[in-house]
Amino acid sequence: MLNILDQIFADKKKELPGTQRQSPLSEIKQRIGDQQVVRDVFKALEKGDTSRIIAEIKPKTPFKGELRKGFDAKIIAGDYVEHGAATLSILTESNYFGSSIKVFQEIRKIAAIPLLRKDFIFDEYQVYESRAYGADLFLLIATWLDQNLMSDLLSLGKELGMPALIEVHNEWDMEKAFAVNAKLIGINNRDLTNGKTDLGITRRLAPMALQEKGKVLVCESGIHGREEIEEFESLGVHAFLIGESLMTSEDIPNKLKELLGSEGS
């Protein structure tokens, strides 16, 4: 029996041929030339007066269901940008997260900060597609991808000027990230095979990730308050990818300011 992560990738594989027929690679490559220059996520995540938040936009998840009544991606993106997010993460998967690449395109028009395309990427077409819709970086999930494929996709992203956020969940994933010389590493506290979240994952893996200089370390999932951010910053974490605690907040701007540590500013 497939776990949820395997199922999502299996469905993406079934879906991809139809996407390629609808938008052939030649058209996708042509669209890339119409995009603005890639925005520098490493500069965006440099230490500043406040913490660095990658604020996520997603209508629902397979673990929690619908996250927000009256969901409007453009309004949420506007709030994130106005109130200090360093980068936006945009879910574009449709079957399990209720989104699409077209949402990404709409947000690109109003957001001048780096945008992460967060999806279940396993094919070069998806990397080209990410850039064609205005992505500045894209997600690669080390738990699912083998090292050689991850290296190939990472290299293609570099050719297009886009870094990849290599997402890890355990020591084996981290070894793969090191092997492909990932510069941007995200430690996901959520086990994508079952949805369980454990902040102890970052506590355990952060020292390992920072053994090599030059890595930018992102903590993902399970962050709900300022105390957790301060704890992980003391361990060397550079930035935080936060979705559900923002998406479920009654007041997104105030929640973001709280997480940033800028409530009084």
Q: What's the 3-state SS for 199-254?
A: CHHHHHHHHHHCCCCCCEEEEECCCCCHHHHHHHHHCCCCEEEECHHHHCCCCHHH
Would residue 56 show up in a list of annotated catalytic residues for this protein? yes
Q: Which of 12, 89, 118, 215 is the catalytic position?
A: 118
Would residue 82 show up in a list of annotated catalytic residues for this protein? no
Distance CA 155, CA 113 (A): 23
Would residue 167 show up in a list of annotated catalytic residues for this protein? yes
What's 161's DSSP letter?
Answer: T
Q: Which of 130, 188, 189, 245 is the catalytic position?
A: 188
Q: Which of 12, 58, 215, 257 is the catalytic position?
A: 58
Would residue 181 show up in a list of annotated catalytic residues for this protein? no
Residue 189 in tokens: 């506290």
Please, are residues 86 and 113 in contact by the beta-carbon 8 Å criterion? yes
Distance CA 119, CA 237 (A): 23
Q: Which of 93, 220, 228, 244 is the catalytic position?
A: 220
Residue 139 in tokens: 């997600």
Rounded to 10°, the helix 200-209/171-179 angle is: 30
Q: Which value, in Å, is the radius of gyration of the alpha carbons in the chain?
A: 17
Would residue 213 show up in a list of annotated catalytic residues for this protein? no
Q: Which of 51, 189, 221, 245 is the catalytic position?
A: 221
Q: Which of 51, 56, 176, 255 is the catalytic position?
A: 56
Identify the burial level of 23 via C-beta atoms within 10 angstroms of its C-beta, where 0-12 means exposed, 13-18 middle and 19 or more buried: middle
Q: Which of 12, 89, 93, 167 is the catalytic position?
A: 167
Would residue 221 show up in a list of annotated catalytic residues for this protein? yes
The catalytic residues are 56, 58, 118, 167, 188, 220-221
